[in-house]
Structure formats: structure tokens, C-alpha cells
Amino acid sequence: KLGNATAKAELGRATWKYFHTVMARFPEKPTEDQQEALRSYIFLFARLYPCGECAEHFQQHLNKYPPQVSSRKAAAGWACFIHNEVNAMLEKPEFDCTNLGSFYDCGCAENEKAEKG
């Protein structure tokens, strides 16, 4: 059956932006509960991703490379790695994960204090 490649790519770009921004905002020192929340979120995200073919591939990547949720750095690094796996599958260039830095900025204050200040 014929898909719509433009719509699929647009959904992908928007989703990756959101996905990496979630990681960039994950606590640096997450509690057990926060770690479990991120792990569950990632598995449900993969299961519910609207493009069925993509969801299927992504779940296979997840089984091979389980989510790293021990810290913000670990989560962001893992997400970059797994996005690169998708890039490789689609024959897209590899993103340099050492260049993540503040690439994904939510535009929100880092904490309550900063917001008030």
C-alpha cells in the first residue's frame, strides 16, 4: 500500500524534537520513580507511535538497546544513539552525539527559582 512519505517525515521531525527535548529536561539525578516513569514512557511511546511500520522497527531497536534512564546524560545519550540507529536504517547521516549540548531547549526556565528570578 502507498503511504505518504512527506507526512511521515514531518511527523518524525516533530516527534524527534519532542523526544530529545524530554530527555534534555529529565532530572540529572532522577529518583527510582522518575526512572521508572521514563522507562515506561519510552516503551509506550514506541508501542503507540502512529506510523505502524516505524513503531515496529523502533520496538525492535528498543529490545536490542534498552532505554538508559539513570540520569539526564544517560537518557539524552541513549536517545541520540537510538535516533542514529534509525538514521542508519534510513541511510541518513549520523548525528554527532557529543554535540548535543543545549541543542534541545524547551524554552522553559530550568527550575522554579530561575522562573521567579
Summarize as ranges the residues that interact with ligand FAD (CB under 6 A): 8-9, 12-13, 15-16, 20, 49, 53-54, 57-58, 80, 83-84, 86-87, 90, 92, 95
Q: Please, what is the minimum distance in Å from the beta carbon of residue 19 to ligand FAD?
A: 6
CA–CA dist 114, 109 (Å, integer) = 6
CB of 68 to ligand FAD, least distance (A): 14
Is the C-alpha dihedral spanning 79, 10, 44, 17 positive or negative?
Answer: positive
CB of 34 to ligand FAD, least distance (A): 21
Closest CA to 106 of 15, 18, 10: 18
Q: In the chain, which residue ranges form alpha helices assigned H by DSSP?
A: 5-24, 32-48, 52-64, 72-89, 112-116
Q: Which is nearer to ligand FAD, 101 or 117 (CB)?
A: 101
Residue 37 or 100: the one with the smaller Cβ distance to ligand FAD is: 100
